[in-house]
Amino acid sequence: MTGRMRARELGIVPGVLPPGPVNAITDVPGVRVGHATLIDGSNIRTGVTAIVHDALTGRSTLPAGLFTFNGFGKMVGSTQVDELGEIETPVLLTSTLATFTVADALITYILALPGNEELVSVNPFVGETNDWYLSDARRRPITAQHALAAIRDAVSGPVAEGCVGAGTGTGALGFKAGIGTASRLVSRGDATSAVGVLVQANFSGTLTVLGTPVPAGRGFRGSPPWPAPGDRAEPSDGHGNSCVIVLATDAPLDSRQLGRVARRCISAMARTGSDFSGHSGDYALALSTVARDTGPSSTHLVPENDLNVFFSAAMEATEEAILNSLFAAESMTGYRGHSRPAVPLDQVRDLIGRTDADGT
C-alpha cells in the first residue's frame, strides 16, 4: 500500500451512523476549516488550525458547551464559555507556547471586522497541545500572521488532515498524529442534522483500532511478534499528552445539552487507547450553529429523550477523527533528531482483518 488513507478507506468504520458527504466537521453547514503549517529547518514543526463560522463575529454568538476531563492545558476563553454558555469567536488551535500570541491575533481579527468599530471586549477561544517533541517550542515561531492566515484560508469541503496546521508536530499513542476530522448524520423524524468533529491529537497510550491494540514498535515487520491476549502492551514514549476535540452541529441544542454531548467525546479517547496521563490537557468543546433566539418564534430545542443519538454521533465521529489524525499523518523527524513513525497502514489493515477472521 502506498500513500496515506483515512480509516474508512481501510475498511475501519467505527459505529453505525452514516457520515456526511465529506466525513468532516465541514459537513455542518457554514463551518469552515483553515490551516497555517510552519516547517522550518530541522527544528520547527508547528502551526495553527482555525474553525470558522460566519456567526462568530464578537458581536454575535453561538450556543456552546465545554467539558474539561483533565485540565493540564491552556484553554483561553474557557471560563466565559462555561459561564455564559456561548462562544463568540472562531476556534483556533495551536502549540502551547503560541497560545497567547494566537489569542491576541484572534482579538485583532475580531476588532477589525466591519461593524465592530465600537466593540470594547471580546472573548477569544484558543486551545493547544504541546508539540515540543518535534518542534523547538522555546523559539515560539508562530506569529499573528500565521493565525490570521489560518482564519483567512478557512474553507468548506474536504479538510486536510495529519501533519498540517496545529497537528504538524503532534503525535499520539506512540505514532505520528495530527489533525483529524469526521462526521455523522442524525435523523429524527423528518429532520436530519450533521454532527462534525475535529481533533488535535497529541496524547499517550496504546493505539487501539476497533478494540484491537496496535502497540507502537511491536508486531510490525522486523519487530517482535504481537502480544498475546492479556499481555501488557509497552507504554508509549509519553511525549504527547493532550487532545483538543471540537464538535459542531446544526441541531438546535442549548449550552447545557451541548455540554452533555461534549462529555461523550472524551470516551472516544478511551476507545482509541488513551492512558489519560495526568499531564494531559483533554478538552471537548461542542457548539451549535443554530443561534439562540428567545423570541416568540424561537427554534424548539431537541427533546431530552432524543439526545442519545447525538451522544452516539459524538462518540463515533470523535473515534474516527482520532484514527484519521493518525492514519493521515506521515513519519516525521524534527527537534534534536526526535522522530515519530507513521502508523503502518497495510499492517494495521491486515491485523484487523486477521482479528475479525479468528475472533480474537
Q: What pLDDT digit, counting tens, does each position of 95-131 carry?
A: 999 999 999 999 999 999 999 999 999 999 999 999 9
| pLDDT one-digit tens code per residue, 179-188 | 999 999 999 8
Rounded CA-CA distance 44/54 in Å is 32
Q: Is the pLDDT of residue 355 over 90?
A: no
| pLDDT one-digit tens code per residue, 268-312 | 999 999 999 998 999 999 999 999 765 444 568 999 999 999 999
Active site residue 236: no
For residue 294, what pLDDT is reported?
Answer: 53
| Selected catalytic residue, list 242, 277, 288, 325 | 242
Nearest to 316 by CA among 12, 24, 14: 14
Strand order in the sheet with 281-288: 86-87, 62-71, 281-288, 242-249, 191-202, 179-188
Under the banding of pLDDT at 50, 70 and 90, the label for residue 220 is: very low
Give the residue-averaged pLDDT of 2-11: 89
Active site residue 95: no
Let me know if 212 is exposed, middle or buried by CB neighbors in 10 A (0-12, 13-18, 19+).
Answer: middle
Give the residue-averaged pLDDT of 196-216: 95
For residue 358, what pLDDT is reported?
Answer: 60
Give the residue-averaged pLDDT of 29-35: 98
Rounded CA-CA distance 43/114 in Å is 39
For residue 356, what pLDDT is reported?
Answer: 61
Q: Is the pLDDT of residue 243 over 70?
A: yes
Q: Is the pLDDT of residue 237 over 50?
A: no
Q: How far is CA 341 from CA 44, 134, 217, in A?
A: 17, 12, 9
Give the residue-averaged pLDDT of 75-94: 98
Q: Is the pLDDT of residue 231 over 80?
A: no
Let me know if 227 is exposed, middle or buried by CB neighbors in 10 A (0-12, 13-18, 19+).
Answer: middle
Q: Is the pLDDT of residue 59 over 60?
A: yes
| Selected catalytic residue, list 204, 236, 277, 280 | 280
| Selected catalytic residue, list 135, 282, 288, 325 | 282
- DSSP annotation of 147 reads H
Q: Percentage of residues in the chain with pLDDT exceeding 70? A: 89
For residue 352, what pLDDT is reported?
Answer: 85
Let me know if 307 is exposed, middle or buried by CB neighbors in 10 A (0-12, 13-18, 19+).
Answer: middle
Pick 325 or 230 by higher pLDDT. Answer: 325
Give the residue-averaged pLDDT of 225-250: 62
Mean pLDDT across the chain? 91
- DSSP annotation of 250 reads S
Tell me if the domain spanning 8-224+232-291+299-358 has CATH number 3.30.1520.10.
no
Active site residue 282: yes
Q: Is the pLDDT of residue 18 over 50?
A: yes
Under the banding of pLDDT at 50, 70 and 90, the label for residue 235 is: very low
Q: Is the pLDDT of residue 233 over 60?
A: no
